[in-house]
Structure 1
Amino acid sequence: MGEIREKFCLSLFFVSIVFIQLKSYGVVVEGEDILSLGASITGNQTLISKNGTFELGFFSPNGTNNWYIGIWYANIPEKTVVWVANRETPARNRCGVLKLSEEGDLGLFDATGASLWSVNVTKKPSQALILDSGMRFGGQKKLVSWKSSLDPAPGLFSYQVDPSSGVKQLVLKWNNSVEYWASGPWDGNVFSQIPEMSNKALYNISVEIINSGFHVTYTSIAIKNVLSRSLSRMQLYALLDDAKWTLLWSQPRDQCAVYGLCGAYGICNSNNLQFCSCVEGFTPKDTRAWYSRDSWSSGCVRQSPLNCVAENGSSDGFLEPSVTFPDADSASSYPVTTKEDCQKVLLLNCSCTAFTFNLSSGLCQIWYGHLLNMRTSLPPKSNSNVFIRVAASALPKTKKSSSKKTQLQLLLVLSPLHWVSF
């Protein structure tokens, strides 16, 4: 599908997301955009909005046997999925059936008839209609990223109106807890931290404050389609004449400012095309997503387990990557005399994963659990370095052992008939 499509599959769009509108009024008019009572779609059958902008049907991410009901742009060669109904409950191996029952219940069922997704309504509708128009974003609605381009299940990043009372701004959050970017307050014309929005020649932004909260609506003006997406950053794309999505702007501008972008034991470097790398002794948890630059948030896992069974501590060692201080599940500090004393304290506890020792203060800080949000150190460096705990097998070999190994290999080549003597 190409890199652009893969990135969009990974993302969550809100500017042109289309709702299936359940109507309980008017005359039923049959057409491509309508699902009437008792009707259903399955297989390659689709609904297309009146002006041909959006299409609803079944799709399966490449390389999987999982099927979802979704909405995508109807006339773009690279299928750009903008909404998924059953993102956590795919139909396995075969697409299911989307049906509007005679009672007015819209539901998705797998090949066995098991319910995968449904819409709760208070009034019986007469039909389901796919619209060309967009949506209002805000209030209590929260947009959550996909896990990866192959898995639309909820990821770690979300986009929402600031829940703080009286603050009219948009925020990005990690794991529903850490806020790492804010749009700045709405001043009646633009969000203060998104000056690009002041370009009224491209699109219009309207804000409503009603009982249900603070709502934002985008409308394209000079460009055929303008949409926003949020994986870990807020990005605005435009569809140009060559039918390719072109990035207009993104926030936050620094990729490494995204909290937890590289996941556990990942290191972020905004100067590299591959933003994330694993700490030495670790490997990507999801190699396919990691090396395709699809998603790094799954992080890294140890290549070798820690030694936590020794009675008098462990044989684990420490690596000293040049990184900023990490975030972890918890941390504690102890006064010690030397770095070696700090190491001893850490090795007696299997949940300790890293430490730093400040010589001037004599303070040993220890981190517990997974390490998050590390990035390559930028000058000036502090007088405290981060030491990360790894298994003994992950430590670099000493010069002495490397020399001996090289000599042994040389002797084996020169005297192949005497290999038993070694």
Structure 2
Amino acid sequence: MLFKALLVFFPLFPFCTSIDTIALNQRVKDGDFIVSKENNFELGFFSPGNSSSRYVGIWYANKSEKAVVWVANRNNPINDTSGVLTINRYGNLVIYAHDIDSFSIWSANVSLQTTSTSVAQLLDTGNLVLFPDSISKSESFIWQSFDYPTDTLLPGMKVGLNWKIGFEWVLTSWKSQNDPGTGNYSLRLFSNQTATPQYFLYKGVSKYWRIDPGPWPDFVSSNEEMYFLFVTDNTSVIRWVLTDYGLNQQLRWSDAVNQWEELWAAPKYRCDQYGQCGANSKCSPDNVCLYHN
């Protein structure tokens, strides 16, 4: 696949010296992919589980298990292998099905203030970023996938609120292992700027589980925004996943056993569920609700 990607990109754009970027009119077709500079992550088309639907996603490179960490068109799958990921003439990162002259099925939905074109790059953090090609890649992103998490948090991602621009970072489960569409569980910050902020796992619109109150070492709060920043020690490959059945997991990759190992998970027990025993009861160690006056 690597050689296929090189053959697609280089003859059309001889100035291109990396396969971690997508420039104007470059096309990532189904079967092609781009790879981050240090070969940490790949981006391309995939089908989850036993589904035949096609999605654009990001996953860890060089792992025996394809652990998808982000999905672009999670609610708009393509039913065949005709999909194309590209940057259109307006500077938007878009996905087309069947024909690039048709309506896009997904877009980064950005609006450039200048006539300059834009470039997308897959970073070694797993973040897909979009920036005007007239500026340094490190100066300013006009869009980044880290702002739109699906079911996975990677180090550097947030869950919280930005009141200034009315934006929310939310972690949302897949519908199932075969469908990355928006699922029934979501992890989000609950705060009205006056009360103590709390993190809740929601099942639909109902509170299902609450993370123990702070202070959290990686919690950021200001007049404009409030969020939890997922941070690791950088010595291990760790991700936070919200499963389709409502379990939060922190997983670490083990080279010794060549698989993901669970570091932490919740809610696992009946008493973990929010308000399980009501206002006048408490949960016993064996997960039984005990009434008390």
TM bucket normalised to smaller:
0.5 to 0.7
For residues 81 and 157 of structure 2, what CA distance do their matches in structure 1 show? Answer: 31
* 1:65 correspondence with 2:80: no
- Compared CA separation, residues 95 and 378, structure 1 to 2 (3 A): farther
Aligned 8 A contact 1:172 1:233 in 2: no
For residues 50 and 118 of structure 2, what CA distance do their matches in structure 1 show? Answer: 38
* 1:173 correspondence with 2:202: yes
Aligned 8 A contact 1:39 1:101 in 2: no
Higher alpha-carbon Rg: 1
> Helix, strand or coil: the match of 1:55?
strand
CA displacement at 1:125 relative to structure 2: 4.6
> Helix, strand or coil: the match of 2:105?
strand
- Compared CA separation, residues 49 and 222, structure 1 to 2 (3 A): closer
- Compared CA separation, residues 63 and 187, structure 1 to 2 (3 A): closer
Letter in 1 for 2:238: V
Aligned to 2:264: 249
Correspondence for 1:132 among 124, 149, 152: 124
Deviations 1:63-121 (A, max 9, x none): 32210000000111100001111111100122400011233121101114342100121
Gaps of at least 5 residues in structure 1 are 1-27, 190-205, 260-323, 326-376, 382-422
For residues 239 and 85 of structure 2, what CA distance do their matches in structure 1 show? Answer: 27
> Helix, strand or coil: the match of 2:238?
strand
Correspondence for 1:109 among 96, 105, 123: 96
Letter in 2 for 1:117: W
CA displacement at 1:159 relative to structure 2: 0.6
RMSD, aligned α-carbons: 2.7
> Helix, strand or coil: the match of 1:70?
strand
Letter in 1 for 2:158: R
For residues 164 and 233 of structure 1, what CA distance do their matches in structure 2 show? Answer: 26
Correspondence for 1:143 among 161, 171, 174: 171
Aligned to 1:230: 242
CA displacement at 1:185 relative to structure 2: 2.5
> Helix, strand or coil: the match of 1:92?
coil
Letter in 2 for 1:234: N
**Which structure shows the higher helix fraction?**
1
Letter in 2 for 1:129: Q
Gaps of at least 5 residues in structure 2 are 1-14, 126-155, 162-167, 278-286
Letter in 2 for 1:144: T
Letter in 1 for 2:111: T
* 1:39 correspondence with 2:26: yes
TM-score by length of 1: 0.48
For residues 157 and 82 of structure 2, what CA distance do their matches in structure 1 show? Answer: 27
CA displacement at 1:243 relative to structure 2: 2.7
Correspondence for 2:187 among 152, 159, 163: 159
* 1:90 correspondence with 2:82: no
Moved over 3 A (4+): 163-166, 255-259, 377-381
Deviations 1:114-163 (A, max 9, x none): 42100121325521011122423322121211110111111111011124
> Helix, strand or coil: the match of 1:66?
coil
| Count of matched residue positions in the alignment of Structure 1 and Structure 2 | 222
